Amino acid sequence: MQIREAIVLAGGLGTRLRDVIGEFPKPLAPINNLPFLQYLLDYLKQNGVQKVVLAVGYKWELIQEQFGDNYKGLSLIYSVESNPLGTGGAIKLALEKIATKNCFVLNGDTLFNIPLNELAQQHLNGSATCTLALKQVDNSSRYGSITMNDAGAIEAFNEKEQGAKAIINGGVYCIATNALANFKTEHTFSFETDYLAVKAGLGKLYGKVFQAYFKDIGIPTDYHQFEKDLKEGQIKFYNAMPYEKIKIDSSWTLFLDRDGVMNERLIDDYVKQLNELRIIEKVPAAVQRFTELFGRIVVVTNQQGIGRGMMTVDDLSIVHGFIEEVIKTAGGKIDKFYFAPQLRSENSNHRKPGTGMGLQAQLDFPEIDFSKSIMVGDSESDIEFGMKLGMKTVMLKNSSNVSTKADYIFGNLYQVSQELIH
């Protein structure tokens, strides 16, 4: 069921965003200091895509300069329009660089955070020519709406209607690479009007509704809203990669980061006293389940607030003692807390992503086998720590770690306890 190739329509001029982003191509629109296209590429990588054809035009050299021909293991190929070809012409040209029978197509100015493997399953099981990812919205006035029958076949694309609740096209497609065979290469046409609308009702165009995060950044209001949503952690990230549950027994060890994993992280500050500690909902229940399965559970946490003189080791011990007691009351157990008080500038191996705390844990618990260990964190330094020691790694997503090398991606610790292990 896996489809490993995708086309991203990245030739947009960004005319309506000109006052916000200047002369940049729209895919390079900066969102929290990162180009929007980077969020899309990270999303595709997390969904198992291995090759991306970027359908580019306006100032495409800037995109190539930014990303080159490989992004974090994603092979990038450029399909360049010498003249604007419309969405259909751009896809037709890009399809010549697709090697397999089916691929994904995404709008380069939209993030619709669906699990792509589910869209692929719908497409392949139904022998569809094209399958659309759909979204139900309260107001379809900007997008128009879609009529679909009980079997999931799309029957019609409807005109925009002010204030109407409806199902809309989310701008993510799974398409057979021969779907546009009747169109000439370098011919200008609209994918939406000249292909989708024409094929509606003929039985080869299907849709699947997803209740995932959706944002089209094509206008300033939504551009700024997407930036705000990222900062506030409003985006729900799917663990989009298909995975099998990990079978755990008492020979396994669980390593947990603390801030952002067990308790709420304070922005630009440290949990120095108990009145600043907020344990995340359902963490005690998660650790209780982990305790039933793992042989050991240890916490490894960077605490440079000590090195900066903002708190003491005794202050930290009180916080950890309280967390330990809460976990114990819920039926769980933390075997040991390890902390690194060093400043980031010291480049100490004891501080993550250095491996010092992990190696110390192995000295204290010689039975620890890093190949039978899982590291759960919320930052890339946590993931690098686990990777260096040969552990499986889990990232808990937030607004500042959209990109990750982790093996698994989940929303919170409780979700990990329910969905990843058994």
Residues assigned a catalytic role: 257, 259
Question: Is 45 exposed, middle or buried, given 0-12, 13-18 or 19+ CB atoms closer than 10 A?
Answer: buried
Which tokens go with 70? 């490989």
Q: Which residues pair with 408 in a beta bridge?
A: 394
Instruction: Give the position of tokens 């690098």.
Output: 384
Q: Using DSSP, state whether 21 is helix, strand or coil.
A: helix
Residues 226, 43 contacting (CB under 8 angstroms):
no
- Sign of the alpha-carbon dihedral angle for 410, 415, 419, 422: positive
Report the alpha-carbon distance of residue 208 to residue 154 in Å, rounded. Answer: 10
Say which DSSP state 366 is in: T
Question: Can you say whether residue 80 is alpha, beta or left, with left for phi > 0 and alpha for psi between -120 and 50 degrees?
Answer: beta
CA distances to 17, 109, 223 from 219, in Å:
6, 10, 6
CA distances to 135, 221, 276, 417 from 215, in Å:
11, 11, 34, 30
Report the alpha-carbon distance of residue 45 to residue 71 in Å, rounded. Answer: 9
* Cβ-based neighbours of 151, under 8 Å, separated by 6 or more: none
Q: For strands 51-56 and 5-9, give the pairing.
A: parallel
- Sign of the alpha-carbon dihedral angle for 279, 282, 288, 294: negative
Could you tell me how far CA 189 lies from the centroid of its own chain? 32
Do you know the residue count of the chain? 422
| Residue 211 C-beta-side C-alpha neighbours within 13 Å | 1
Taking each continuous run of H as one helix and of E as one strand, the counts in the chain are 13, 20
Report the alpha-carbon distance of residue 179 to residue 174 in Å, rounded. Answer: 11
